Amino acid sequence: MGTVQEVGLIRVVDGGGDGFRRADIIGKEIQNLVTTKARGIVISTLDDFLDFVVEDFNPQRFDGIAYALAGLIKDRDEVKKSPNAHFLDGVKMALETQKRVQKKSAVFNDMEAAVIGMSALFPQENYFMGITWSSGIGLRIWKDGNILSLAEGGHMVLDPSPFAPLCGCGKRGHVEAIIGGHAIKRRVIAETEALGIRVPKDKHPCQFLDEEFEKEQEWAVNLYKIVGKGMGIFLANIQTLLKLPLIIWKGTFALRVFEKGIEPIIRSQMQSSLIDPTWADESNLRFEFSPPNNEDALIGAAQAFKSLS
């Protein structure tokens, strides 16, 4: 990744539903990437989190600490509501960090950071939606050098019924609660139990789903088709409002879906829902993938932090 810089580094920490990671960023260069998942670290308290954040942190080498966190963020400081890490609810994260290390800190929504990073990684694009499809679903719209709004598209209502699945935010029927990775895990468990299929104890339900899909088991193939149609309906609503030319995808579940050839199902569902079906054609709406390892959010949080200066 190049030589370590003695000044100008920004420590970036990001996280959502699958744990946290940190890295030291200068420009588009990513150094010293560490993840809680790889280390087997479980973080359940603010003190645990701050210990992870400031580990090996030398204040003389860094300009500050930036966060890219899922949930509602207020004043670049307070995590008003985290959909997954509830120990952060109501915490003024930037303030708590500054108490620990006496360096400037700022907090950004994880998709806000990701889309800013995408704009740096795809500099030729001036209008697109960045979407994470992983344990949850988050998105932002980039237009002419700015994010259009700090809305939470993953919490759009997809099922208004009173029996719709409960989302991590506490509301029912949100997109994330129906086709997010955690929701698919629950669906696999329910489907296999209903069909009398045993999921091996040493396998994640989504891993088992993938293996069964590769074996062309009807229940697994149908489940992926249902998921694809759900995403198609969701994107048709987005496209009806915004008529996007490009969607930039990221996230482990997105990779799984596209590797299994579900894109035509997504586009077909969009076409059947849109007033003008051609808005979902490949010639009018391109799909691209952001680089792996969440580079976009790390780079974007660092850039957003520098812009505050």
How do beta strands 146-147 and 286-289 pair? unpaired
pLDDT at 218 over 90: yes
Question: Comparing 16 with 308, which gets the higher pLDDT?
Answer: 308
pLDDT at 123 over 50: yes
Q: How many whole angstroms from its chain centre is CA 277?
A: 28
Count CA atoms within 13 Å of residue 301 on its CB side: 32
Size of the chain in residues? 309
Mind listing the pLDDT tens digit for each residue in 43-76?
989 999 999 999 999 999 999 999 999 888 999 9
Cross-strand pairs, 194:
none
Contact 9, 25 (CB under 8 A): yes
Give the distance, in angstroms, between the CA of residue 48 and the centroid of all CA atoms in the same chain.
Answer: 22
Cα–Cα distance list, 68 to 14, 160, 184, 257, 289 (Å): 4, 30, 25, 25, 20
| Widest pairwise Cα distance in the chain | 59
81 and 87 in contact (C-beta within 8 Å)? no
**pTM: predicted TM-score of the whole model, two decimal places:** 0.86
Query: pLDDT of 105-118, one tens digit each?
Result: 999 999 999 999 99
pLDDT at residue 28 greater than cutoff 90: no
Residue 1 clears pLDDT 50, i.e. is over it: no
Return the beta strands (E) in the chain as ranges.
Answer: 9-15, 20-26, 29-35, 62-69, 72-74, 78-81, 91-92, 104-109, 127-133, 137-143, 146-147, 246-250, 286-289
Report the 10 Å Cβ neighbour count for 236.
Answer: 21
Average pLDDT, the chain: 92
pLDDT at 2 > cutoff 70: no
Work out the angle at residue 40's Cα, subtended by the Cα atoms of residues 290 and 108, and round it to the nearest 5 degrees. 45
Residue with the two structure tokens 């074996």:
215
Q: Give the separation between CA 78 and CA 99, rounded to whole angstroms.
A: 14
Q: What percent of the chain has pLDDT over 90?
A: 83
Please tell me the predicted confidence (pLDDT) of residue 139: 93
**Per-residue pLDDT tens over the stretch 132-146:** 998 889 999 999 999
